[in-house]
């Protein structure tokens, strides 16, 4: 009998210690935001006092992606995204680049911005930078289709059927309200590589069967900019470069209408000096930027960006050199002069290997 009571007392003691340990574990991990922040490597550093203490995790400087926690528990963007926005602000203040960095928030710009009222998101379209996938994300968020996989390709760019309103469709007051309060983003890539992509997509492969590029726009460029009049081939990249670098290109732009969105500057498309964007993504780092944008917009639990094939978004200098081979330095410099604002606003290196 004595041994039975001793065994029973031992069992009660073990159960009591287990309850104490469980309570301790619960108290230790009661802050899920802090735990997930460590898991996702959004490291916190010292910040102005916001009424909330911040923890700091120490890592080598080259590994730090810095973000601060706001009173609501939301993380400020990691350092790289803050630096991109700061660079835009600084370049916008440079008087010498004003003509290349500023533009009016016209109907042309407002037509480029798609609206998701349900989640208070504005997305500025920059063609040839993976925009089709972002439009699919917004189509799903707006409820037109239940998933990205179920959206027919023919619907994505059909603005009568895809359920994506443009910002230009709202009243002035409604436009201003959305510009001031909604989450706003757009994506950029190396300006010259984007032009190569536009040329290939519209004048070489033309996968969506848009015959007006080859049969209307290309002949117009050839007539004005081809130097060798005996040349009978279709439009060449050299013709395209001369057209884009011509300071008087606008008279042809007016004839081409909205088709020019595939090669005009990011400044002309999205007015980054006039509109205060929340995030600027880069095509070259889209594997990191896409999840970050979804998280910052508060929709990462609702939709995912389609899988990105490895290496497909990386900058390809060899391709750039190949396309510009044989084009005169004068023509390339004139092209750079037009797109210099895009290079500087978004931190792309000046292509000296082409210019000198």
The pLDDT assigned to 229 comes to 78
Give Rg (Cα) of the chain.
26
Q: How many residues does the chain have?
A: 356
The pLDDT assigned to 282 comes to 98
The pLDDT assigned to 77 comes to 67
Given pLDDT bands bounded at 50, 70 and 90, which one contains residue 70?
very low
**pLDDT, average across residues 292-319:** 94
Place of tokens 């884009």: 244
Q: Are 262 and 356 in contact (CB under 8 A)?
A: no
Better-predicted residue by pLDDT, 292 or 70? 292
* Interior/surface letters 326-341, b for 16+ CB within 10 angstroms, e for the rest: ebeeebbebbbebbbb
Question: Model confidence over 150-173: pLDDT tens digits?
Answer: 999 888 888 888 889 999 999 999
Neighbours of 71 (CB within 10 A): 8
Question: Model confidence over 210-229: pLDDT tens digits?
Answer: 889 988 999 999 999 998 87
Given pLDDT bands bounded at 50, 70 and 90, which one contains residue 206?
confident
Q: Which two tokens stand for residue 33?
A: 């935001």
pLDDT at 116 over 50: yes
The pLDDT assigned to 69 comes to 41
CA 152 to each of CA 79, 114, 142, 208, 322: distance values in angstroms, whole numbers, following the listed order: 37, 19, 16, 13, 35
pLDDT at 25 over 70: no
CA 107 to each of CA 182, 253, 256: distance values in angstroms, whole numbers, following the listed order: 19, 16, 17
Q: Are 241 and 192 in contact (CB under 8 A)?
A: no
What are the DSSP calls for 291-319, one per residue? Answer: HHHHHHTT-TTT--PPPPPTTTTS--HHH
This prediction has a pTM of 0.78
């Amino acid at each position: 009998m004595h041994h039975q009571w001793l065994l029973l007392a031992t069992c009660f003691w073990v159960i009591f210690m287990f309850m104490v340990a469980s309570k301790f574990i619960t108290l230790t991990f009661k802050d899920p935001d802090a735990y997930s922040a460590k898991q996702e490597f959004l490291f916190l550093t010292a910040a102005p006092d916001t009424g909330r203490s911040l923890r700091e995790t120490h890592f080598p400087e080259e590994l730090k992606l810095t973000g601060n926690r706001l009173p609501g528990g939301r993380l400020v963007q990691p350092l790289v995204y803050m630096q991109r926005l700061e660079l835009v602000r600084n370049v916008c203040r440079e008087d010498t680049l004003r003509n290349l960095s500023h533009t009016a928030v016209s109907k042309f710009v407002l037509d480029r911005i798609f609206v998701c009222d349900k989640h208070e998101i504005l997305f500025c379209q920059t063609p040839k930078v993976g925009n089709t996938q972002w439009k699919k994300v917004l189509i799903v968020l707006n409820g037109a289709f239940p998933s990205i996989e179920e959206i027919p390709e023919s619907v994505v760019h059909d603005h009568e059927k895809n359920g994506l309103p443009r910002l230009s469709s709202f009243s002035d007051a409604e436009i201003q309200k959305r510009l001031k309060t909604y989450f706003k983003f757009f994506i950029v890539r190396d300006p010259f590589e984007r032009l190569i992509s536009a040329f290939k997509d519209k004048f070489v492969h033309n996968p969506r069967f848009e015959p007006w590029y080859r049969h209307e726009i290309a002949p117009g460029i050839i007539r004005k900019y081809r130097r060798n009049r005996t040349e009978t081939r279709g439009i060449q990249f050299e013709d395209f470069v001369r057209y884009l670098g011509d300071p008087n290109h606008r008279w042809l732009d007016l004839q081409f209408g909205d088709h020019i969105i595939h090669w005009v500057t990011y400044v002309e498309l999205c007015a980054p000096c006039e509109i205060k964007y929340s995030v600027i993504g880069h095509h070259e780092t889209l594997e990191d930027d896409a999840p970050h944008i979804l998280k910052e917009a508060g929709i990462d639990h609702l939709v995912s960006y389609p899988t990105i094939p490895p290496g497909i978004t990386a900058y390809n200098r060899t391709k750039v050199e190949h396309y510009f081979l044989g084009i005169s330095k004068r023509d390339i410099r004139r092209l750079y002069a037009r797109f210099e604002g895009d290079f500087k606003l978004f931190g792309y290196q000046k292509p000296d290997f082409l210019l000198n």
